[in-house]
Amino acid sequence: MKKKTKIITAPFAYASPWILATASGILIAIVFFFAVNNLQREKRIMTESLFNKGQAIIRFVGAGTRASMMMGAPSTQQFQHLIEQAAGESGILYIAVANSSGKIVAHSTPGLVGTDLNHPLLGDTDLAPIGKYQIITGQGTKQKVFEIVAPFKPFMRGRGYFFKRHMQTMSQAEKQDRLAREDAAPPSACQSFLGKDTWLPGDNLSIVVGLDMAEQDKVIQQDRYHMFYMSIAMLLVAIGGWIALLTAQSYRSSQKTLMNMRAFTDLLISRLPVGIIATNAEGHIQTFNSTAAKFTGKTTDQAIGQPQTAVLPYIQQLIPTDEQEGEIIDKEILLPPDSPSPNHLHISSVPITDGHSNTIGRVILMYDVSEIKKLEAQVRRHDRLVALGKMAAGVAHEVRNPLSSIKGFATLLGSRFPVESEEGEAARLLINEVERLNRSITELLTYARPLPLAINEVEIEPFIEASLKLIQSDAKELGVAVHHEITLARKQVRLDKDRLNQVLLNLYLNSLQAMEHGGELQVSVHEGLRSGTIEIDVRDTGGGIAKDILERVMDPYFTTKPEGTGLGLAMVYKIIDEHGGTIRIASKEGEGTTVSIVLPG
C-alpha cells in the first residue's frame, strides 16, 4: 500500500504576513512605551528624592544657624564649622553660601571662603522660595553632581520645603504681604553672625548644595537592567500568549475541519454501494456501513465491537495467516439461497498500516457481483447461440438437398404401389418424415439467418389484442382466463410487428402448455424503469420452472417437452436481442412464471 506523507503546518502560518507584522510592531511599541515610561518615572522619583535631600540639608543648616544664634555665641567660625559638619554626611560633595556679589561666605572646603563663586543661578530672581536644581559634571571627572541652589535666609522662619506648599494655599495678596514682612528682617542678626564686611544690608544670600549622584546612577542603571529584563519577559509572555491564541484558533479550525471531514466520510461510506467493514488489530469491527448490513443481515449496533467471525461466519478464509499479514486477500463467495445478501459476493481484505508499516487493522470490501455473473452467463449463452447459428446454417444447407432427393424417390416409389398396400404406407411415412425434417431445417435457417427488422410505429393496444386473439380458442378450451392491461402513456411504440408477434405467440403457447388444468394469463404493458423504455410482462399461474433449469430454458435445443424442438425461447431471446432489448424470466415451482420484455421506445 502506498504511504502518504502528512504535511503539518505551523498554526501562525494561517495568518497574513501583514497582520503578523502589524501585531508584532504594536506589541513592541507597547513594551517600549511601557519601559520608557517606567524609566522616566524612576528618574523623576530619584530627582525628587535628591531635591528633597538637598532641601533637608538647607533646612538643617538654617536650623543650626538659628540654634547658634539663640545660644548667644554667634560667629563666622561657628557658621563655617556648621557647614563643614553638614558636608561630612555621606553623599554630600560640598555646601557653599555666597552673597549677591558671588563672594563665598562659607564653604565646606575652608580654603574657598572669600573666593568668588561664578554660578549662573546666583543672580536668578526665580529662586524664591525653594530654589532650583541642575545636574552637572565635575571638572576633570565624569562624576555627576546634583546641585541645588536656593535663597538662604536662616533668620526667617518658614522658608523651607513646606513654605512653598503653604504659599500655594494662600491668596496673591497674602503671599505678597508675607514675603514683604519676612524680607524686612533686621540686618543686625546677619551682621552680628556673619560680620559687617561679609554681609551688608540688602544682600541676598544663596546656598549651594552639591550631592553625589553615583548611588542614584547605580540604582537607575540597575533599574534600567531590571526594566530591560522585564520588557523582554513581557514581550516573550505576550508573544507566547499570541502564539497560544493562534494555536487555539488553529486547533478550533482543525477540529471543525476534522468534524466536517469525518461527517463527509461517514456519509460517503454509508452511501457507497460497496460493503465496508473496518476492524482493529484484534479483529473487532470498528466501521460497518449500511451496505455491509444489507449483505450480512446484521445491524450496525449488532456488529460494532464484535469479532468479525461472529458477524461474518463465512469470512474465515479471509483472515490472514502470519505470512499473509500484509497482503491483499481476494475471494469470491457463493452465499446460500436463504442468505439476505446476493448469491455472489466478491470480498477483498486490505491491511491498514501505520507509519512504521505495522498492520493495525484491516478493511473488508464486499462487492455484489450477482449481476456481473448474470451478464457473463448471458454473454456465454449469446456466444453459444452465435456458434450454433453458424453451424445450423451449414448443416441445413448440406442436409436440405439430400432430403429433396429422398422425398422425390419416396413419392416415385409410392406411386407404383396401391395406396392401401404396405409399400404405399411406407412411402407416405417416409415423405412425412422428410417434411418434418424440412420444417426443422427451416426453423434452423430462420434462427441462423434472421430477416432484417422492419421497425415501424405500432399502436400497442390493438397489437396486443390481436396477438391474444390468436390463442383465444386454445385458452377457452383449456379453461384459461386471458386479461391484458396497458398503462403506457403513449399509444404508439417502435417495433417489428411480425417478429414481436412471433415472440408473444411463443410465450402465450408456453404459458398455455403450463396451465393444462386452467388458470390465468395476464399481459401488461407499462413504462420501463429506465427512461424511454417499455416493458411487456407475460404472467401465468402454471406450475412454474424448477430453479436448476431456469437459466437453461433459452438455450437452443433445451426443452422439457416430449415433442419440443427447444428453439422457441431461443428464438424469442434472439429477436428481443435484435431489437436492442432484454428479457428476464422469474419463476418458482407451483407459483407460476413471469416473462418480462424490456424494449427501447
The pLDDT tens digits of the residues spanning 341-363 come to 667 777 777 787 777 777 778 88
172 with 290, same domain: the answer is no
Is residue 11 predicted with pLDDT exceeding 50?
Answer: no
Domain final residue, candidates 368, 389, 415: 368
Give the per-residue pLDDT at 596: 92
490 with 422, same domain: the answer is no
User: Is 87 contained in some domain?
Assistant: yes
pTM assigned to the model: 0.40
Is residue 537 predicted with pLDDT exceeding 90?
Answer: yes
Q: Rounded to an integer, what distance in angstroms lies between the CA atom of residue 601 and that of residue 579?
A: 10
Closest CA to 516 of 559, 566, 484, 479: 479
Q: Rounded to an integer, what distance in angstroms lies between the CA atom of residue 346 and that of residue 330?
A: 7
Instruction: List the beta bridge partners of residue 331.
Output: 347
Give the per-residue pLDDT at 161: 42
Of the ranges 10-14, 232-236, 584-588, which is most confident? 584-588
**Contact predicate 64/193, CB 8 Å:** no
Residues 376-411: pLDDT tens digits? Answer: 777 777 776 667 666 766 666 667 677 777 778 778
495 with 568, same domain: the answer is yes
59: CATH: 3.30.450.20
pLDDT category, 556, cuts 50, 70, 90? low
Taking 3-state DSSP, the helix, strand and coil percentages for the chain, each rounded to the nearest 5, stand at 50, 20, 30
User: Is 83 contained in some domain?
Assistant: yes
Give the per-residue pLDDT at 517: 85
Residues 477-495: pLDDT tens digits? Answer: 889 999 999 988 888 888 8
pLDDT category, 538, cuts 50, 70, 90? very high
Flag the least confident range among 411-415, 565-569, 570-574.
565-569
Q: Which residue has the cell 407404383?
A: 416
Domain final residue, candidates 348, 368, 388: 368
Is residue 129 predicted with pLDDT exceeding 80?
Answer: no
Instruction: List the beta bridge partners of residue 49.
Output: none
466 with 511, same domain: the answer is yes
pLDDT category, 2, cuts 50, 70, 90? very low
pLDDT category, 6, cuts 50, 70, 90? very low
Flag the least confident range among 157-161, 445-449, 520-524.
157-161
Domain range for 208 is 32-219
Is residue 72 predicted with pLDDT exceeding 80?
Answer: no
Give the per-residue pLDDT at 539: 93
Is residue 73 predicted with pLDDT exceeding 60?
Answer: no
pLDDT category, 160, cuts 50, 70, 90? very low
Q: Rounded to an integer, what distance in angstroms lies between the CA atom of residue 451 and that of residue 497?
A: 13
pLDDT category, 162, cuts 50, 70, 90? very low
How many domains, the chain?
4
Longest distance between any two alpha carbons in the chain, whole Å: 199
489: CATH: 3.30.565.10
484 with 572, same domain: the answer is yes
Closest CA to 80 of 59, 56, 63, 97: 97
Residues 512-527: pLDDT tens digits? Answer: 888 888 899 999 999 8
Domain final residue, candidates 368, 390, 425: 368
315 with 388, same domain: the answer is no
* Average pLDDT of the chain, as a whole number: 76
83 with 174, same domain: the answer is yes
167 with 87, same domain: the answer is yes
What is the DSSP code (8-state) at residue 466?
H
**Contact predicate 147/210, CB 8 Å:** yes
User: Is 117 contained in some domain?
Assistant: yes
Helices (H), 272-369: 290-296, 300-303, 308-311
433 with 462, same domain: the answer is no
